[in-house]
A and B are shown apart, each in its own frame.
Chain A
Amino acid sequence: MTEPARSSNSTAAPADLYQVLTGLADPTRRQILDALATAGSGTATTIAATVPVSRQAVVKHLAILDRAGLVRGQRAGREMRYLLCPARLTDTAHWIAALADDWDRRLRAIKDIAESL
């Protein structure tokens, strides 16, 4: 039995993954993504009305999410309007789920070994 490589089907560059994980590690940023998913799009002002932090804090969080490729900003008058970019998030979720699947497979193999000793 050969352990398949721990990675395949490259869809995210190294720096990207770190930025995506860092982007998602903060609960407020997850709330912001959630708010964008619900509303379709939003500005720092509209998002600040739905999360328990200031507009200024939302601006900083949006900049981090933008660098991670999780949102995309478009100028709309004096404000930036942000849209969700779900592809990176979906890739990351798949990657995490694949790591979990790998562990399930290994745990089943360990079970087979221990039960036959």
Chain B
Amino acid sequence: MDDSIQRDITIDAPVGRVWAAITEPQHVGVWFGTGQPAKMDFRPGGGIVFSHGEAGETLATIERIEPQRLFSYRWALVGARDVPPGDGNATLVEFTLEPDGDATRLTVTETGFTKLTAVGVEARAKQYGDNVGGWAQKVVELADYIATMRP
């Protein structure tokens, strides 16, 4: 069962620049963080600290590095603030880069939600969109469907 969230985007830049944006601390700190460079020990098994500012930190461990092709890490999920990723509290985030002419297709997949046993994970109500992907999409479809059955 594919318990994943998958999203992608086309970026008008070659893979080298996209790779820099997702792996270099000064850029990571902008797309996830306070704007300060993220703390990263850039090697498989190395750590990443994603800052939420005063709200704490999300800790990650780098899984795979295949330059300009694949970058993945495990991070401790929602509610596991300041706790290192481990069994039962972490999901796997995988970025894949594919050249598309002069552009790059960047896909992110987050998997492992059914393995979360140990953390304070909280649901939040919010409007939701399409194409959540795989297993996760089924949940959304089922919830939508059931909502239509309600009087």
Q: How far is the CA of A98 from the CA of B58 in the complex (A)?
A: 17
- For A47, list chain B residues within 8 Å (CB): none
Can you name the residue of chain A whose Cβ is closest to the Cβ of B15? A114
Q: How far is the CA of A2 from the CA of B124 in the complex (A)?
A: 19
Contacts A14-B120, A111-B11 given; does A21 touch B125 at CB 8 Å: no
Contacts A12-B121, A100-B5 given; does A89 touch B21 at CB 8 Å: no
Q: How far is the CA of A43 from the CA of B73 in the complex (A)?
A: 44
Total contacts A-B at CB 8 Å = 197
Q: How far is the CA of A103 from the CA of B32 in the complex (A)?
A: 10
Interface residues of A in 4-18 (CB under 8 A from B): 4-14, 17-18
Cβ of A117 within 8 Å of any chain B Cβ, yes or no, is: yes
Q: Which of A8, A25, A37, A113 interacts with B21 by CB under 8 Å? A: A113
Cβ of B132 within 8 Å of any chain A Cβ, yes or no, is: yes
In the complex, the answer to whether A11 meets B128 with C-beta atoms within 8 Å is: no
Q: How far is the CA of A21 from the CA of B1 in the complex (A)?
A: 11
Cβ of B101 within 8 Å of any chain A Cβ, yes or no, is: no
Contacts A6-B78, A103-B7 given; does A92 touch B123 at CB 8 Å: yes
Can you name the residue of chain B whose Cβ is closest to the Cβ of A10? B122
Question: Chain B's nearest CB lies how many Å from the CB of A115?
Answer: 5
In the complex, the answer to whether B78 meets A7 with C-beta atoms within 8 Å is: yes
Question: Chain B's nearest CB lies how many Å from the CB of A31?
Answer: 10
Which of A6, A37, A84, A115 has the most C-beta atoms of chain B within 10 angstroms of its own C-beta? A6
Interface residues of B in 111-140 (CB under 8 A from A): 113-114, 116-129, 131-133, 135-136, 138-140
In the complex, the answer to whether B132 meets A3 with C-beta atoms within 8 Å is: no
Interface residues of A in 50-100 (CB under 8 A from B): 84, 86, 89-100
Contacts A18-B116, A89-B146, A93-B144 given; does A12 touch B123 at CB 8 Å: yes
Q: How far is the CA of A26 from the CA of B131 in the complex (A)?
A: 20
Which of B40-48, B49-57, B62-70 lies at the interface? Answer: B49-57
Contacts A30-B138, A100-B132, A107-B108 given; does A9 touch B122 at CB 8 Å: yes
A-contacting residues of B (Cβ < 8 Å)? 1, 3, 5, 7-9, 11-13, 17-18, 20-22, 27, 30-35, 50-53, 55, 58, 77-79, 81, 104, 106, 108, 110, 113-114, 116-129, 131-133, 135-136, 138-140, 142-147, 149-150
| Given A1-B33, A114-B104, 4 further pairs, Cβ under 8 A | A24-B139, A95-B123, A96-B132, A110-B21
9 A-B residue pairs with CB within 8 Å: A2-B34, A2-B35, A14-B119, A17-B121, A22-B114, A37-B149, A93-B143, A96-B140, A103-B7
